[in-house]
Chains A and B, each alone.
Chain A
Amino acid sequence: MELKTFPQGIHPSDSKELTKELPVNNMPVPKKVIIPLSQHIGASATCIVQVGDFVKTGQKIGDAAGFISANIHSSITGKVIKIDECNTPGGRRSKCVVIEGDGKDDWIEYKKQENLDLLSAKDIKNIIHEMGIVGMGGATFPTSVKLSPPEDKVIDSLIINSAECEPYLTCDYRLMIERTMDTIKGIKIMMKVLDIDRAFIGIESNKMGAYNTYRKMLDGDKSIKPVLLQTKYPQGAEKSLIKAILNREVPSCGLPMDVGVVVHNTGTVLAVYEAVVKGKPLIERVVTVTGYGIRQPQNLLVRLGVSFEEVINQCGGFIDKPGKVINGGPMMGIAQWDITVPVIKGTSGILVIPAEAVIEYYENPCIRCAKCVDVCPQFLIPSELAKYSKKYNWDACDDYGVFDCVECGSCSFVCPSKINIVQYIKMAKNEINMRKRR
């Protein structure tokens, strides 16, 4: 069978064997949570509780501020003890609501919508917005916004991003296997909102189990089609995924909706299902706790706001000395310096690399080997971008397409001179954006 894919890309070792076969475990409800009011792309939510307030599990504590923003809910029952700036795994400090649990786990009752026919697209979008659903692949873009393309864009396909191309991570894979029917229902809900009758589930070939399960469950259903993709990084980058499945190219600096497509992650689909059908706000998620520095790697269902430290202890703690603790996968994840940071909506994995496996690289001069040019999924010339960024030549960076970069890190991965190309590119993007704002 021919596997679909996109041009170029890299083949890192996927290292998923650590947690691939482990069913999702529930982590006990934590005693204390730190819930950042900004866990998503867009404006930070407005805090609607005060210190001393008593909150129930699932109660709204942050109100979406503006169009691109998301509601925030409490993930435990207890008392608000502090509202202060704290570190978040995204690397920035954000205003956080600290809640101390009282041991009970009283849920706020939201309406359960068993019969979807009674709901209009607008009703569903309102529920998704109300329940604070954001993209759970890591980018955390508010889902209700993504489901509301402008009038002039004709959408004909929904793509479910189940590629999970980041090495080590298996949370989406477990959801696909364990919650197959629920994810299918979630897809149906999204299709109803978008008013389309065609959806694809893109699955990489190293997750045959998930592909076969979908094939079996969707037998006879022509509207949703699982598609087997080549195992290649960054297969799960939106633009690469659309290219692989539909052979459409999202225009330079454009969005998937420009080619009639909306892309959502597996975890998001499940969250949408739970929000609409079960009346459950986004207060917990599956996190793959993995790496060779953790005693018992697991796929863990955790409440948002619990600290990395507690999750790591739940998994037996570190083996010897930890070298790096990463929020997300090894390719795009962010290394943490403080493990008291909370799990947030975009935390797909906590990866622990042991100290002895952390290699310190020294940058060598570029030898123009063009390996980065040959792997860049956006057909850029990463080495030139890095060269110009290093010389603060922002105009040249812009000219060479710095804003087309999807920051997948393939260039830095292959570079034999160990130049961290993608970091120079991010630096140039930041700098140019700052100058534009001035």
Chain B
Amino acid sequence: MEKVKLAVTPAPHIKSIDTVSSVMLDVVIALCPAILASIIFFGIKALIIIVTCVAFAVLSEYICQRLMDRPVRINDFSAVVTGILLAFCLPPSIPWYIAALGAVFAIVIGKMVFGGLGYNIFNPALVGRAFLLASWPVFMTSWSLPEKLTSSNWASLYDSTTSASALGMFKEALNVAKSGGGTQGLESVYSQFSISSLFFGNVPGSLGETSVIALLLGAFYLWFYKKHITWHIPVTYIATVGLLAYIGGGPELMTGNYLFHITSGGLILGAFFMATDMVTSPITPYGRIIFGLGAGLLVFIIRIFGGYPEGVCYSILIMNAATPLIDRWTRPRKFGEVR
């Protein structure tokens, strides 16, 4: 037998089929139902904003990697995920150039200055949103009403009628109730935004956050089928918000409408797709639970006592900052270790 040439590599010699690209692509697939829902409810404008965000995110990542003289890794789909998630937390009526600016900021400042994928401290999409909210607060808080598929407005590129979001109206009504103005305001908010309309997403709000059912569909794909996310963060996060909302979310103790708080705003989107962002969330199981608890507490504080009606974005960003510390504090017990 002639001398054979053999490859020599360290063990293991078999590897799972998951790659960074496939994981990110799975996230994109999981976001598809919500993309569809956003187009159904907010019209063709939604699609334009999503495409703009994705295009500018990918483009700015490409330019950054070329300028930084690093291998171009735009085919790992991470910028696509960032683009979609950023679009999901923008109002449907936002001008496309502002959305584009947000995408560029998210990638350049949120991700690339830290060294690119794997090194960023904060969720890039939320960095982009926080930047836009600080810079264009009016654009960022005017919510257009959902459209009917048959209406002429559905395909129109111009702003439709705007309204306050569920959480915005809730906050005003809560303040009225707390200062002794009666609970009629709160009741009317609850009846205007029934749990079923919040669940299906037929309410004003950011592009991708309104349809709870579409988001859950994608989340189950990621959670049970692909197993890319674990229960720790989403369950503790949502349960904390629900519990605290029940206790202190009403005019008096134990009168809060917890289902309203869970299904409105960006909680479901944030819990399954943003708080679970691999790079910026803790890697230890206990760490993930602490992350969920902390973020839930922050959402409650911001929604009930803070200046903004919604707190999902900031709750996750603040917990992102605490992630390295949480990881250090929650090192798992080693097998056979007695503490």
Using a CB–CB distance below 8 Å, which chain A residues touch chain B?
10, 12-13, 167, 239, 243, 249-254, 309, 313, 317-318, 321-326, 330-337, 339, 351, 353, 355, 358-359, 361, 364-371, 373-374, 377-381, 383-384, 400-401, 404, 409, 412-418, 420, 422-423, 426
Contacts and interface: CB of A to CB of B under 8 A. Distances in A.
Given A249-B335, A369-B278, A404-B334, A417 B11 contact: no
Contacts of B20: 364, 367, 416-417
Given A334-B11, A353-B13, A381 B284 contact: yes
B15 A400 contact: no
Contact of B11 (A309, A333, A374, A377): A333
Interface in B173-223: none
Name the residue in B7, B14, B23, B119 with the highest tally of chain A Cβ atoms < 10 Å from its Cβ.
B14
B278 to A, nearest CB: 4
B23 A335 contact: no
B332 A381 contact: yes
Contacts of A381: 283-284, 331-332
A339 B6 contact: yes
B334 A335 contact: no
A414 B279 contact: no
Nearest to A377: B335
B12 interface: yes
B7 A323 contact: yes
A367 B279 contact: yes
Contact of A330 (B14, B19, B230, B280): B14
Contact of A335 (B7, B118, B285, B335): B7
B116 interface: yes
Contacts of B159: none
10 contacts: A239-B336, A331-B13, A335-B8, A336-B6, A336-B8, A365-B118, A369-B23, A377-B335, A401-B334, A426-B10
A379 B333 contact: yes
B225 to A, nearest CB: 15
A402 to B, nearest CB: 11
Nearest to B331: A381
Interface in B256-299: 278-285, 288
B15 A418 contact: yes
Contacts of A374: 230, 285
B172 interface: no
A365 B71 CA distance: 12
B11 A409 contact: yes
Given A330-B14, A422-B12, A416 B335 contact: no
A331 to B, nearest CB: 5
Nearest to B338: A251
B337 interface: yes
Contacts of A324: 6-9, 13
Contacts of A358: 7
A12 B336 contact: no
Given A368-B279, A422-B12, A373 B7 contact: no
Nearest to A328: B11
B169 to A, nearest CB: 38
Nearest to B23: A416
A416 B25 CA distance: 12
Contacts of A250: 335-336
A378 B334 contact: yes
Contacts of A423: 10-11
A373 B332 contact: yes
B198 to A, nearest CB: 31
B9 A422 contact: no
A368 B283 CA distance: 7
B161 interface: no
A355 B336 CA distance: 41
A367 to B, nearest CB: 5
Given A330-B12, A369-B278, A379 B332 contact: yes
A164 B14 CA distance: 17
Given A325-B6, A416-B19, A379 B12 contact: no
B334 A252 contact: yes
Contacts of B337: 251-252, 401, 404
Given A381-B331, A414-B18, A249 B12 contact: no
A332 B11 CA distance: 5
A254 B15 contact: no
Name the residue in B19, B117, B283, B336 with the highest tally of chain A Cβ atoms < 10 Å from its Cβ.
B336
A370 B288 CA distance: 10
B12 A368 contact: no
Contacts of B11: 330-335, 409, 412, 422-423
A337 B6 contact: yes
A322 B22 contact: no
Nearest to B4: A322
Given A252-B337, A368-B278, A361 B15 contact: yes
For the complex of A and B, list the 5 residue pairs with the smallest distance between their C-beta atoms, beginning with the closest.
A365-B118, A409-B12, A370-B283, A369-B278, A416-B18
A236 to B, nearest CB: 15
Contacts of B285: 373-374
Contacts of B16: 10, 12, 413-416
B67 interface: no
A52 B16 CA distance: 52
Name the residue in B7, B8, B11 with the highest tally of chain A Cβ atoms < 10 Å from its Cβ.
B11
B75 to A, nearest CB: 11
A142 B13 CA distance: 27
A239 B335 contact: yes
B336 A254 contact: yes
B1 interface: yes
Contacts of A332: 11-12
Contacts of B7: 323-324, 335, 355, 358
Nearest to A8: B335
Contacts of B282: 370
Contacts of B23: 367, 369, 416
Contacts of B333: 379
A317 B15 CA distance: 26
Interface in B1-60: 1, 4, 6-16, 18-20, 22-23
Nearest to A309: B1
Interface string B107-122: 0000000001111000
Given A370-B278, A370-B283, A379-B335, A413 B12 contact: yes
B78 to A, nearest CB: 8
Contacts of A239: 335-336
Given A332-B11, A364-B73, 11 more contacts: A322-B4, A324-B9, A325-B6, A331-B12, A355-B7, A367-B279, A368-B283, A370-B288, A379-B334, A412-B12, A412-B15
